[in-house]
Amino acid sequence: SWSREPPGVPRARGSAGCREVVPTCERYAVRRLPFARLGDSDVAFFERLMPGRVVTGEEEVKAFNVDWLKSVRGCSQLVLKPQTTAEVSQVLRYCHEKNLAVNPQGGNTGLVGGSVPVFDEIILSTALMNQIISFDKVSGILVCQAGCVLERLNEYLEEQGFVMPLDLGAKGSCHIGGNVATNAGGLRLLRYGSLRGTVLGLEVVLADGSALDCLTSLRKDNTGYDLKQLFIGSEGTLGVITAVSILCPQKPKAVNVAFLGCQSFAKVLETFTTCRAMLGEILSAYEFMDEKCMELVERHLKLSRPVTGSPFYVLIETSGSNSTHDEEKLSNFLEQAMASGLVTDGTVATDDKKIKASHLRERITEALTHEGYVYKYDISLPVGKLYDLVTDMRARLGHSAKSVVGYGHLGDGNLHLNITAESYSHSLLDAIEPFVYEWTAGCSGSISAEHGLGFKKKQFIQYSKPRQAVVLMQQFKAMLDPKGILNPYKTLPSAP
């Protein structure tokens, strides 16, 4: 009983415990495709294949059926927890033969409804595929299974003098395979680039159960098509990622964090220009957030901010190898920013407060969930227009929304627009969509910067991609997953 409404809404049950049609607002209605129904013989096969790692029972499966935001839910009756690529291969081979739909799931921290079932798809969890396969201290190349938690990988690497090239607010729960499958961005993209550059190779199991071993650890490999790029950002619709080879940078010896206040978004932009020019190679993050974001973090999470009284705030992180050199550069930048009036107040976090300062930005998403129902939008825009969408949306919605806030990765033009209300409202959603996507398309932006399309955005892909591109994507899907069993109802609109 897939629903836009939060859990707790009564389920309309059909013969297998799921609705055939989900009567939410018309734009999200979806009909179950003619996949086979799970039977006792199917469950028996999986129990023989992986004894003790097959989860059944409504209460036991419940947590896997609901997304992190508690905004969408499915009604899968079965969760499988393979430990090896061979087991994933056998599962998918069986499901392909029996026409059973499969929902790959990592840490289930996605925000667009891509990580939980729509109907009764079998959930294939990578939670137990959490082994580090190898790490080369000379090249900095890590090879690991897809279910490794991002934060655990970073802790392992820090002991070796390295770090992961991505950092997310959900790092304590998200899996590296899910990060790759959604092409997650995060706080370090400004410094280290996207996963499309840092991922060197993948091992993937295709829909028919065949394993594709492209788990290379080479920086340069110019032999034919770069097949791994098909699966990065494919959200589990083309294959199940089982292992990842990723290039990791050395751990910086000197990390500094500055928290600044600006009187306007124009000043935020000017500060970024000055920051990039003066900090250059040591600049690793430039995040912005508006006053309302900080108010919510203070009120709901009881976190104090080091600077107050400004309509906008900026979090700057530098990473380098020489603390004296980096501190001098940061000090010179701050003096210039204050003297020129770009920044009205600011502080450089001391060692024991660096994590707390970073948490102010990382935990905005958590604070928003305390406001009620959250409409979340992850947008890429030309940097100069980044906050205009927030302003226009506030004017459009007026008092019908509880709050409209904006924050994000200004260094790469990624806005996180969040709109809160006491509860879910069809009329409020109608006021937001498709206006938000039309506005974004009018600026030649992207309707998804880093969260993917999942279920919630798939029908809006045309605002960012031409028809020919969507058709080609559908052809790739049909070629690699002819029965459509992998994460159905997600990412792409149905083929004609």
C-alpha pair distances (Å), 495 with each of 117, 451, 454, 488 = 20, 23, 16, 12
CB 342 within 8 A of CB 288: no
> From CA 151, how far away is CA 167, in angstroms rounded?
8
- Tell me which DSSP letter residue 346 carries: E
Confidence at 11, pLDDT banded by 50, 70, 90: very low
Residue with more model confidence, 54 or 350: 54
pLDDT at residue 357 in the model: 59
Q: What is the pLDDT of residues 87-127, one digit of tens each?
A: 999 999 999 999 999 999 999 999 899 999 999 999 999 99
Classify residue 75 as exposed, middle or buried by CB count within 10 Å of its CB (0-12, 13-18, 19+): buried
Residues 6 or more apart in contact with residue 269 via CB below 8 angstroms: 383, 384, 410
Q: How far is the C-alpha of 375 from the C-alpha of 25, rounded, in Å?
A: 15
- Beta-bridged to residue 91, according to DSSP, are none
Identity at 161, one-letter amino acid code: G
- pLDDT tens track for 300-330: 988 888 888 999 999 999 999 888 999 999 9
* pLDDT of residue 4 exceeding 60: no
- The percentage of the chain sitting over the pLDDT mark of 90, rounded to a whole number, equals 76
Q: What's the whole-number mean pLDDT along residues 218-242?
A: 95
State the Cα torsion 264-270-272-273 to the nearest 10°.
170
436, 377 in Cβ contact below 8 A?
yes
The span from the CA of 429 to the CA of 452, in Å, is 19
CA atoms within 13 A on the CB side of 99: 6
Let me know the angle formed at the C-alpha of 240 by 142 and 182, rounded to the nearest 5 degrees: 70
pLDDT digits (tens, 9 = 90+) for 197-222: 999 999 999 999 999 999 998 999 99
Q: Are 286 and 272 in contact (CB under 8 A)?
A: yes
Q: Which residue has the higher pLDDT, 23 or 406?
A: 406
Q: What is the pLDDT of residues 427-486, one digit of tens each?
A: 999 999 999 999 999 999 999 998 999 999 999 999 999 999 999 999 999 999 999 999
Q: How far apart are CA 222 and CA 244, in angstroms?
A: 19
Predicted TM-score (pTM) of this structure = 0.89
pLDDT of residue 414: 93
C-beta of residue 286 within 8 angstroms of C-beta of residue 314 = yes
pLDDT surpassing 70 at residue 15: no
Structure tokens at 397: 């919605």
Would you state the pLDDT for residue 6? Answer: 37
pLDDT of residue 3: 41
- Per the structure block, which two tokens stand in for 245? 């080879």
pLDDT (0 to 100) of residue 12? 30
Confidence of residue 19 (pLDDT cuts 50, 70, 90): very low
Confidence of residue 335 (pLDDT cuts 50, 70, 90): very high
Asked if residue 132 lies in contact with residue 153, where contact means CB atoms within 8 angstroms, the answer is yes
Banded pLDDT at 272 (limits 50, 70, 90): very high
Q: Which residues are within 8 A (CB) of 145 and not within 5 positions of it... i.e. 6 or more apart? A: 126, 129, 130, 131, 132, 133, 177, 242, 243, 244
**Which residue's entry shows tokens 């997600």?**
490
DSSP string of 196-223? HHHEEEEEEE-TTS-EEEE----S---S
Burial readout 440-456 (b: 16 or more C-beta within 10 A, e: otherwise):
bbebebbbbbbbbbbbb
- Ordered by where they begin, the domains of the chain are 24-125 (3.30.43.10), 132-247 (3.30.465.10), 252-368 (3.30.70.2190), 372-483 (3.30.70.2740)
> Within a 10 A sphere around the Cβ of 289, how many other Cβ atoms?
24
Asked whether residue 13 carries a pLDDT value surpassing 60, the answer given is: no
Q: Once rounded to an integer, what is the mean pLDDT over residues 24-37?
A: 76
Choose between 23 and 477: higher pLDDT: 477
Which residue intervals of 71-149 are DSSP H helices?
Answer: 85-98
- Using one digit for the tens of pLDDT, what is the confidence trace for 167-183? 888 899 999 999 999 99
The pLDDT score that the predictor gives to residue 172 is 92
The yes-or-no verdict on residue 350 having pLDDT over 70 is: no
360-405 confidence digits (pLDDT tens): 777 888 889 899 999 999 999 999 999 999 999 999 999 999 999 9
Report pLDDT for 354. 53
What distance in Å separates the CA atoms of residue 190 and residue 364, rounded to the nearest whole number? 20
The average confidence (pLDDT) of the chain is: 90
